Amino acid sequence: MDRAGEDDLVIEFVPPLIALLLAAERSKGGPLTEEEVLEIRDGATCIRSPKSLSEAMAEQRGYTDLDPERCWEQWRSVRTELVE
């Protein structure tokens, strides 16, 4: 079996993790805690997709999603731009 290109697969949150966290924060009516962010990340639906498709989807929606390994730090940084 030829597995060429399999290394090009990436994990993609569906919907994007940023959208999930933003919706959760708006529903809560206040900032999410680190534990809440990690719980949402851990319970989110993910798919494996080719890196090129993931990049095209990010370009189409206008932003790159959070890195699941660094989502708390990244969320704290981007949330101020998103939360009204």
What does the domain layout of the chain look like in residue ranges? 21-82
Q: Give the closest residue to 11 by CA, choosing from 74, 62, 69, 60.
A: 69
Q: Give the pLDDT score at 80.
A: 87
Mean pLDDT, rounded, for 1-17:
76
- Environment class of 20 (CB within 10 Å of its CB; exposed 0-12, middle 13-18, buried 19+): buried
* Angstrom distance (rounded) from CA 4 to CA 18: 31
State the alpha helices, DSSP H only, in 1-84: 17-28, 34-43, 51-61, 71-82
CA angle 68, 32, 12 (to 5 degrees): 25
What tens digit of pLDDT does each residue of 49-79 get? 999 998 999 999 999 999 999 999 999 999 9
Examine residue 16 and say whether the peptide bond preceding it is cis (omega within 30 degrees of 0).
no
